[in-house]
Structure 1
Amino acid sequence: MAKKSTIQTEKVNNHIVEWLKNYANNAKVNGFVIGISGGVDSAVTSTLCAQTGLKVLCVEMPIHQAENQVSRGREHIEQLKKRFPNVSNVETDLTATFEAFKSSVPKTDDEGKISLSLANTRARLRMTSLYYLAGIHGLLVAGTGNKVEDFGVGFYTKYGDGGVDLSPIADLMKSDVYALGEFLTIPLSILTAAPTDGLFGDNRTDEDQLGASYDELEWAMLAAESGNTPADYSGREKSVFEIYKRLNTSNKHKMDAIPVCIIPKTLK
């Protein structure tokens, strides 16, 4: 099921950089703000933004963050600042804010629901911080979601990391992002790390949460787009396809436009 990227990395890189530059200039903003997680998506996105020559603010927003995630993010930021004079950084430690929120909301006996809700709260606190910084510096919030996450399985937080102004890499599969990351020479520690959203304060990976690897989910997404169904497969392929279809269906509310109740003209 492994999918090797076939994108023309240099041309794709140049295309995205030009798109970012044109969008920012048309919007009459100073540049971009990006949350840095220590993962490949934010590393690639911030490097693409840096190449525009516009202001790029990289933001660390730890909330009980694992040390290896913090160190990877800082390694990338320091490398990026050395390569691009238009890049700056700031840390906004949201741990105390998160703990204050936890102590203010009602509790339930369902620990699973509490855990997931608090994980999503982390992402939403970070989104709020990015928009605060965007507002005071005249920047756009650059999204870091890729195609399989944003349009395949909906693996992001609604109004959290899904709350952005523009999405530079959302038409790239995860394998494409890795290929671009190699071309952009982002730190090897990031390229070889297991993907994780870092929202639970433990070592669980994206694959642990999703039940399938990104290579497998890319395969399933392309198979579904070709009109195939789980009945066309057996064994692991069938299981992966069913995982993809389940996630794609349950997360449609993230991927589709917000439904609007249209009032008939006869009632107005």
Structure 2
Amino acid sequence: MQTEKVINHIVTWLKEYATKAKMEGFVLGISGGIDSALTSTLCAKTGLRVLCVEMPIHQHPNQVTRAQEHIAQLKKRFANVTDVRVDLTPVFEEFKTEIPPTTDDSFLDLSLANTRARLRMTTLYYFAGLHRYLVAGTGNKVEDFGVGFFTKYGDGGVDLSPIADLMKSEVYQLARALQVPTSILNAAPTDGLFGDSRTDEDQIGASYDELEWAMQMQEEGKNAEDFGDRERIVYEIYTRLNKANQHKIKPIPVCNIPPNLKE
């Protein structure tokens, strides 16, 4: 990959999009992870205003530390970057007191995790509306179009997606070139939605390198029977998630009414 040219291409794309939309800059959540670190740096390089928002909800201390380290570094490097911290823990806890109890808690943890992501999306759009900013998405290609590892109308609720055509390995290449803090480069990827230290690999059952491989194999028309034990397991994980999450990956379906029914 021609790293510098890709960086310049994304930065130009971001700036042109915002200018044509007559918007003043970008807002995004900073999680302490590699994707938000790269995206915020790319936005900063446009020269337009960038608001980095911390939105902890029972966040693991390591994630908070990494997020704060990145924001401090970014503000030191770019005069157009500002930040704000919104502690959403009390909002989340109050929400839990208002919802009715459930008799089946099989999906309770996942539903509450997705609620965290949607509270953050609402917060970002508050600032976007306040300052005429665009909400910049931080999803990469494997997450957004491979396994659908994001929350619909949570971290998936954005105005534009600058790194969604980059594999996770390519995200790391660009992040290293842009001097993202070493602590973030070395940290295991996590969505931080469960209030503990579980990683993306813990949840998915495969690493991003493995998922990239599986995505390529699917594009080449391979089948699970073509592989050995571990590869078969990874391929089956990928294809299962890809199929199950098509409702996230594909555009929202529209029920088209036949013209004769409207007469």
The interval holding the TM-score normalised by the smaller chain is over 0.9
Residue 258 (structure 2) aligns with? 264
* CA shift for structure 1 position 62: 0.3
Q: State the alpha-carbon separation in 1 of the partners of residues 193 and 103 from structure 2.
A: 21
Task: Name which of structure 1's ranges 165-174 and 225-234 shifts more when overlaid on structure 2.
Answer: 225-234
* CA shift for structure 1 position 112: 3.5
Q: How far does the alpha carbon of each residue in 1:169-196 deviate from its partner, in whole angstroms, 9 at most, with x for none?
A: 0000000000111000100000000000
Residue 146 (structure 1) aligns with? 140
Percent sequence identity over matched residues?
A: 70
Residue 220 of structure 1 aligns with an amino acid whose one-letter code is A
After superposition, the CA RMSD in angstroms is 0.7
SS at match of 2:194: coil
Residue 7 (structure 2) aligns with? 13
Aligned match for 1:223, one of 185, 210, 217: 217
SS at match of 1:190: helix
* CA shift for structure 1 position 264: 1.1
Mark the runs of 5 or more structure 1 residues left unpaired by the alignment. 1-6
Say if 2:173 is the partner of 1:179: yes
The aligned runs of 1:36-185 (5 Å cut-off) are 36-185=30-179
* CA shift for structure 1 position 8: 1.2
* CA shift for structure 1 position 109: 3.6
Q: State the alpha-carbon separation in 2 of the partners of residues 227 and 178 from structure 1.
A: 27
* CA shift for structure 1 position 56: 0.2
* CA shift for structure 1 position 111: 3.2
Residue 212 of structure 1 aligns with an amino acid whose one-letter code is A
TM normalised by structure 1 equals 0.97
Residue 151 of structure 1 aligns with an amino acid whose one-letter code is F
Runs of 4+ in 1 over 6 A off after TM superposition: none
Mark the runs of 5 or more structure 2 residues left unpaired by the alignment. none
* Number of residue-to-residue matches in the alignment: 262
Q: State the alpha-carbon separation in 1 of the partners of residues 105 and 160 from structure 2.
A: 34
* CA shift for structure 1 position 262: 1.2
Q: State the alpha-carbon separation in 2 of the partners of residues 260 and 21 from structure 1.
A: 31
SS at match of 1:96: helix
Q: State the alpha-carbon separation in 1 of the partners of residues 133 and 254 from structure 2.
A: 29
Residue 248 (structure 1) aligns with? 242
Q: State the alpha-carbon separation in 1 of the partners of residues 101 and 188 from structure 2.
A: 32
SS at match of 1:165: coil
SS at match of 1:38: coil
Q: State the alpha-carbon separation in 2 of the partners of residues 106 and 202 from structure 1.
A: 25
Aligned match for 1:33, one of 24, 27, 35: 27
Residue 4 (structure 1) aligns with? none
TM normalised by structure 2 equals 0.99
Residue 3 (structure 1) aligns with? none
Residue 56 of structure 1 aligns with an amino acid whose one-letter code is V
* CA shift for structure 1 position 219: 0.1
Q: State the alpha-carbon separation in 2 of the partners of residues 267 and 33 from structure 1.
A: 44
SS at match of 2:107: helix
